[in-house]
Every structure is written in structure tokens, then in C-alpha cells.
Amino acid sequence: MLELRHLRTLLALRDAGSLVEAAERVHLTQSALSHQLKDLEERLGAPLFIRKTRPVEFTRAGQRLLSLAEQVLPQFRMAERDIARMAGSEQGRLHMAIECHSCFQWLMPTVDRFRDHWPEIEVDIPSGHSFAPLQALGREQLDLVITANPVEMSGIQYIPLFRYEVMLAVARQHALAIKGHVEPQDLCDETLIIYPVEHDRLDVFTQFLEPANVSPREIRSAEMTVMMMQLVASGRGVTALPNWALAEYLSRDYVRGLSLGDGVWATLYAAVREDLLGTPWMDDFLRTARETSFEVLSGVKPA
């Protein structure tokens, strides 16, 4: 009557807050998800949540199953990991690099949880591959690279983690701050602050400015997100960052956030060597990365 998939679905519905977003998280259509929930309610003889509420309100029966899910699913994951160890697949290393300046916000909690799950796996984020991490991955010097810019390479697969919106941050007193979104031409007279990377790795150029044949008046770089925010807040430029990286500054009313046109969305990937895909600990790291990102980041969507 009750299956693990039902428990996962209920957790997704609670965490996402709506049927549409929950369906994305469990990789079903909204119609298929609704049918699954209705079928479960008929089997149990009780409604599990109140329709047309946002965020979703659960009935007492639904709350009881959520409590069960919170107890059972972690135990199930733990049993899977224990069985993998018994099968002798616990040895390995996970050396990774990051082509994403603002990824530590969700990556560090992911690594902490993974280390708790797999203490025998050597985890390291070496610093010697900052300029060519994908090439280092191809040479087997690395095992995984977090990137938003997949490049086709032999023996490498790109596993989507989540989608995010790239937004423009401007000072509160900026003339653009009253707009809900900006067009490429709005940046013609602006100083655009970017991370010190090639323009073809930045979505503000590839998906927004270059298709419109527009260039900002000036481009300057900054190494750290906090430095970029200080420059923006003081009116010395604008910057385009992932929505999750801006969330803290928007909540403090430090800057204003604007959509780029109708919205520029990008996908973050884990580039993984094919020989490591399917190993229990790598699969667990990827699953943990997805789950943690949805817990700690605002505005991200399933890829």
C-alpha cells in the first residue's frame, strides 16, 4: 500500500510548496504526480493535503506520513551505504575542483554530509587546477568538477545538479532599481563587474549581451562576491550573479536584483569521470549535492 516513492513524493511536495515544483523534483509530470497522490489517498482512505494551498497544507494523515518519511528514508539511505561497504566498494578518493566562485555556499555542507556518510573516502579540493580543471579531470588528476560550462570530452559525463536564474544586482539608488527587469541596451552606459574569467564562461555575455550585440561601457573584475557587492552598493558598477548568491544581499536590502530580459537561466553540472559513475559513493555524493542545494539555496530548480 505504501512505498518509498510515496514518501519521497510527500517530502518533495512539502519542501517545494507546490505540485508543479514537486513534480520537477521527482522527475514526473504534474499530471502523473497528482495521479500518484490521488491513488495513495484512495488506498489509505484519507486525504493527505489540502488542495489549492500554497505552501501546501498537510492533513493530520499527511503530517503522519511526513514524519514517517523523515525517519525511514535516512535509514534506507544508510542501509544502502552499509551494503555497499559490505560489497567491498568503499575504497576511493574524491578530488574535485570548482569553476564557480559562489558555489561554496552549498558545496561545503554537501562535503560535510558526504564525509559523515563515507569517512573512508578521501575528499580533497586541491588548489592547483584553477585555470584548467576540466583538462585535469581528463588526465585523472581530478575526479569531479563543478561547472556551468560543459565541454564535450572523451570519458567525461556531465550530471545536471540544478538550474538557477542569473540576475543583475544594482545599487538601491541606481536609476535601473525601479525596473522589474533590464534589457541589454540598459547596460550600454554601465560598468559591469565580473569574476576574473573568460567572457565565454559568463551567461550575462553569452545569453544576454552578445546575442544583442551590446557591450557595457566598462568591465572590471573582482575576485570575491562580497567585494563585488560592496562595489555595486556604492554605485561603482553593476554585476550579474546566480540568484542564490544574491539572496543574502537582497534579504538585507543591500542591493536590488533585476531579471535579465525575460529571465536568463543556467544549469550547474558535476563533470564526472565515466569510470566513477555508478560507484555507490559517487552516486551518493551527487544525490547529496542535489538535496543539499535545495535545502540551503533560494530560487533554484531541478535540472
- Is pLDDT at 26 greater than 90 in this prediction? no
Residue 107's identity, in one-letter code, is: L
In this structure, are 49 and 169 located in the same domain?
A: no
Q: Are residues 131 and 154 in the same domain?
A: yes
What are the start-end ranges of the H helices in the chain? 4-16, 19-25, 30-44, 60-86, 104-117, 133-138, 203, 225-233, 243-251, 280-296
Does a structural domain hold residue 290? yes
Residue 16 lies in a domain: yes
Give the span between the Cα atoms of 238 and 192, in whole angstroms.
5
State the residue for C-alpha cell 542545494.
293
Residue 84 lies in a domain: no
The phi, psi pair for 25, rounded to 5°, reads -70, -35
Query: How large is the average pLDDT for residues 82-96?
Result: 72
13 in a structural domain = yes
Residue 218, in any domain of the structure: yes
Which residue type occupies 214? Answer: V
Contact 280, 169 (CB under 8 A): no
> pTM of the full predicted structure?
0.76
Nearest in space to 240 (alpha carbons), one of 270, 210, 277: 210
Q: Are residues 102 and 31 in the same domain?
A: no
Nearest to 12 by CA among 38, 31, 37, 35: 37
Number of domains in the chain: 3
Query: Does one domain contain both 109 and 230?
Result: no
Query: Which CATH number is 286's domain given?
Result: 3.40.190.10
List pLDDT tens digits, range 58-74: 999 999 999 999 999 98
pLDDT in tens, 129-149: 456 899 999 999 999 999 999
Grid cell digits, residue 92:
576511493
Range of the domain at 186: 163-265
Q: Please give the C-alpha separations between residue 229 and each of 192, 233, 250, 255, 272, in angstroms, as whole numbers.
A: 12, 6, 11, 8, 32
> Do residues 261 and 183 share a domain?
yes
